[in-house]
Amino acid sequence: MNNSTVSIKEKDYIFIYDHFALHFNETRKAIWSCVGKFLDNVPKYSLIADVGCGNGKYTRYRQDIFVIANDICVPLLQTIEKNSNDCCVANGLYLPYKKKSFQYAISIAVLHHISDYESRLKFIKNIINILEPGGKLLFTVWAQEQTIKKKWINKGNGDYLIPWLDKYSKQTFYRFYHLFSYEEIKQFVNDLENIIICNIVFEKDNWCIELQLNN
C-alpha cells in the first residue's frame, strides 16, 4: 500500500473523531478488565505513556502514578479533566518522547485503525523505543473472532468500515478498522524485536497483548 492510499484512508476514516468527539466521550467511561489489571500492577510513581488516549479515562485511574497521554483528536483531549496528568497532541507514528523515558505504556483500541502493516509495525516499535529496558506495554486490537455486524462494510483482508451515528449532528461517519485473528496478532508480535510476549488474552471482542522489553 502506497503512502497516498494510507493518507487518504487516514483523512477519511481515522482523522474524523473531531466530528463526534462529544458523543464518543459519553460512551467511553468503563475500565477494561485487562487494562485495570495491568495498571494495578504498576509500582507507585511509575511513568506511563498512554498512546492514543482518546478521552484520557486511564489518566484518572490512579493518583499515585504519572500518565503522559497523547492523541490526534483535540476535542477528545479537551474532555480530560484539568486535574488529570499531562496530555499532548501527537500521532503515535511520530511520538515526541525521548527514547527509554517510560517504564510502562498502554495503547488501547488504536492499532486497528492503522491501515497498512508497515505503519502498524512502526507504531508499536515507536512505543517500544520509549520504554526503558524491562519496561512493559499493553495494547489492544479488535478481533476477527467476533460477530460481524450487517452494517459493517467488508473491504477484504480483515479490513472494515464501521459506522458511527453521531447523536448530535445525526450524521453517520465511517471508521477504518483492521480486525486481527489470533494467528495474525501472534505473527505480528513475533515480528517485533527484543521483546517478550507476556500474555495474549481475549476480552470484549478484542485481543489484549502484553509485551515486555528485554533488559
Rounded alpha-carbon distances, angstroms, from residue 152 to 83, 155, 161, 203? 38, 9, 6, 20
The pTM score is 0.92
pLDDT reported for residue 14:
63
pLDDT in tens, 19-55: 999 999 999 999 999 999 999 999 999 999 999 999 9
| 58, 39 Cβ separation under 8 angstroms | yes
Burial class (CB in 10 A: 0-12, 13-18, 19+), 175: middle
pLDDT greater at residue 73 or residue 84? 73
Domain over 3-213 is classified CATH 3.40.50.150: yes
Where is average pLDDT lowest: 11-20, 99-108, 155-164? 11-20
